[in-house]
């Protein structure tokens, strides 16, 4: 979800300017330490990269210390100036295993928004020291201006240290205060300008990101529909179609025997009737797999309760949702959980599945549905082209969400999905 970068910036009123100065001064006191810590960890990690993996741990620590500094700068600038800066989020590859972890680190390391935040944080640290110096100059200038009242003989101009004669103390002190206040005012303007220039993405960048996201969602939707079509064809070919063919053959045999052997014909008709009811049941299950009507009528909580009740594996269901979301979002989460329960019963040999669904986020950042499905099966699940997990990943992608699979050999298997509430 992309923030609206066209939102008008907030006007800096006096109290807000004082808040900006206080924030810059606070960043000056901690910023250098944070950046020095990140640089030291990174440099040491590079030097120890070949020593039992210790270096890798330090490099990872440096990366996320730097990310924390960038996140703090994004939140400070947006909360203070309201430029419509997109919130900084940790990047994730969504791929399982150690390779996926390395991919996640690489995505985080190459995140341009993080590096822009670090640059803005470093500039804010420098501006903070200017604020501290100018504030000190204001206090010193006030002391110089009132020094004749206490009988003192002149003094020195703040920062410059130039001696001031007794007769010029008041004028020098007032001048120092005015210049220092002007510097403080200018620092707030400069911080406002620099954060907007560095952190707010250009219109071209926003449009390019929107186009990339839309393209990925379209590709996911196409792939998900292809996987779903293949599944429906397979279920019809392997289940309902042979059963209906069998019903037709049985009725044909009954028709041939109805005159010569009515008892056998009746038995065949009874057999065909039983097979027809089984075919109807399979068709209902197939239709439910395409669209769950209870999802539209009563929402995700009720639909998942019905799904858990029909599961062949016992399900511990914990759903806490604040409100209804779009039909696309609810359908994506529902079918992800339905496919996960099917996999747990067919492939994982699980004896228990735990499903947790929560509402996350807020109106400002965008509401989300987060779900986690974990079974105690044998693990080893992999995303294969055309398989059920492939359909899950693409369905979530089409809804604008993310999915993460963790399934080591021996289990357990855990699947986490996050889908925007309004897709």
pLDDT of 7 > 50? The answer is no
Looking at the fold, whether 33 and 135 belong to one and the same domain comes out as yes
Q: Of 290, 318, 345, which residue sits at a domain end?
A: 290
Q: In angstroms, what CA-CA distances link 297 with 71, 75, 256, 294, 300?
A: 41, 40, 48, 5, 9
Looking at the fold, whether 326 and 405 belong to one and the same domain comes out as yes
352 C-beta neighbours (distance < 10 Å), count:
14
The reply to whether 167 falls in a domain is yes
Name the phi and psi angles at 96, rounded to 5.
-80, 165
The reply to whether 320 falls in a domain is yes
What CATH number is associated with residue 370?
3.30.565.10
Question: How many domains is the chain built from?
Answer: 3
Q: What is the maximum span of the chain, computed from C-alpha positions, in angstroms? A: 136
pLDDT of 67 > 80? The answer is yes
Looking at the fold, whether 319 and 416 belong to one and the same domain comes out as yes
| DSSP labels, 344-403 | HHHTS--S-EEEEEEEE--TTT--EEEEEEEE-S-------TTSHHHHHHHHHHHTT-EE
Looking at the fold, whether 367 and 273 belong to one and the same domain comes out as no
The reply to whether 403 falls in a domain is yes
Q: Of 290, 307, 335, which residue sits at a domain end?
A: 290
Looking at the fold, whether 159 and 256 belong to one and the same domain comes out as no
Q: Give per-residue pLDDT as tens, 118-171.
A: 988 999 998 998 888 888 888 777 776 666 565 555 555 555 445 555 555 567
Q: How far apart are CA 147 and CA 289, in angstroms?
A: 85
Q: Of 164, 185, 201, which residue sits at a domain end?
A: 201
Looking at the fold, whether 19 and 53 belong to one and the same domain comes out as yes
The reply to whether 220 falls in a domain is no
Looking at the fold, whether 20 and 166 belong to one and the same domain comes out as yes
Q: Give per-residue pLDDT as tens, 331-351.
A: 888 888 888 888 888 777 888
Per-residue confidence band for 72, with pLDDT thresholds at 50, 70 and 90? confident
The reply to whether 215 falls in a domain is no
Average pLDDT, rounded, for the chain: 76
Predicted local confidence at residue 6, as pLDDT: 44
The reply to whether 305 falls in a domain is yes
Predicted local confidence at residue 189, as pLDDT: 87
Q: How far apart are CA 373 and CA 316, in angstroms?
A: 10
Looking at the fold, whether 46 and 178 belong to one and the same domain comes out as yes
CB of 351 within 8 A of CB of 376? yes
Looking at the fold, whether 192 and 300 belong to one and the same domain comes out as no
The reply to whether 216 falls in a domain is no
Looking at the fold, whether 254 and 317 belong to one and the same domain comes out as no
The reply to whether 211 falls in a domain is no
Looking at the fold, whether 159 and 81 belong to one and the same domain comes out as yes
CB of 334 within 8 A of CB of 298? no
Predicted local confidence at residue 11, as pLDDT: 54
Looking at the fold, whether 284 and 316 belong to one and the same domain comes out as no
Q: In angstroms, what CA-CA distances link 351 with 246, 371, 378?
A: 34, 20, 10
Range(s) of the domain holding residue 167? 1-201
pLDDT of 305 > 80? The answer is yes
Long-range pairs, 248-251, Cβ under 8 A, ≥24: 250/275
**Of all residues in the chain, what percent carry a pLDDT higher than 70?**
71
């Amino acid at each position: 979800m992309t923030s609206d970068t066209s939102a008008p910036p907030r006007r800096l009123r006096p109290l807000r300017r004082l808040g900006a100065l206080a924030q810059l001064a606070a960043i000056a006191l901690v910023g250098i330490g944070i950046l020095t810590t990140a640089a030291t960890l990174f440099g040491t990690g590079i030097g120890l990269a070949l020593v039992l993996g210790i270096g890798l741990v330090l490099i990872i620590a440096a990366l996320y210390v730097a990310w924390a500094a960038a996140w703090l700068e994004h939140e400070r600038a947006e909360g203070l100036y309201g430029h419509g800066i997109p919130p900084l989020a940790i990047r994730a590859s969504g791929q399982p295993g150690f390779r996926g972890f390395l991919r996640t680190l690489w995505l985080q390391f190459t995140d341009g928004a993080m590096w822009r935040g670090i640059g803005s944080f470093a500039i804010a640290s420098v501006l903070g020291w200017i604020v501290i110096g100018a504030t000190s100059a204001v206090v010193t200038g006030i002391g110089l201006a009132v020094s004749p009242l206490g009988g003192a003989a002149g003094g020195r101009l703040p920062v410059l240290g130039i001696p001031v004669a007794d007769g010029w103390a008041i004028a020098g002190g007032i001048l120092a205060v005015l210049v220092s206040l002007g510097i403080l005012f200018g620092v707030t303007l400069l911080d406002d300008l620099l954060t907007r220039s560095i952190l707010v993405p250009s219109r071209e960048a926003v449009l390019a990101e929107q186009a990339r996201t839309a393209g990925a969602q379209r590709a996911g939707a196409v792939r998900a529909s292809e996987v779903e079509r293949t599944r429906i064809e397979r279920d019809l070919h392997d289940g309902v179609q042979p059963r209906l063919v069998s019903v037709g053959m049985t009725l044909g045999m009954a028709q041939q025997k109805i005159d010569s052997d009515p008892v056998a014909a009746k038995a065949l008709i009874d057999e065909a009737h039983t097979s027809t009811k089984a075919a109807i049941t399979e068709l209902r299950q197939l239709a439910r797999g395409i669209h769950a009507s209870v999802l539209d009528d009563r929402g995700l909580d009720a639909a998942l309760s019905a799904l858990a009740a029909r599961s062949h594996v016992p399900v511990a269901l914990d759903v806490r949702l604040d409100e209804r979301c779009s039909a696309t979002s609810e359908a994506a989460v529902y079918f992800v959980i339905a496919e996960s329960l099917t996999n747990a019963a067919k492939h994982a040999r699980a004896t228990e599945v735990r499903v947790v669904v929560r509402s996350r986020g807020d109106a400002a950042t965008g509401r989300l549905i987060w779900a986690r499905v974990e079974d105690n099966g044998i693990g080893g699940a992999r995303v294969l082209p055309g398989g059920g997990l492939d359909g899950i990943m693409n369905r979530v992608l089409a809804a604008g969400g993310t999915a993460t699979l963790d399934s080591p050999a021996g289990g357990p298997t855990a699947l986490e999905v996050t889908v925007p509430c309004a897709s």
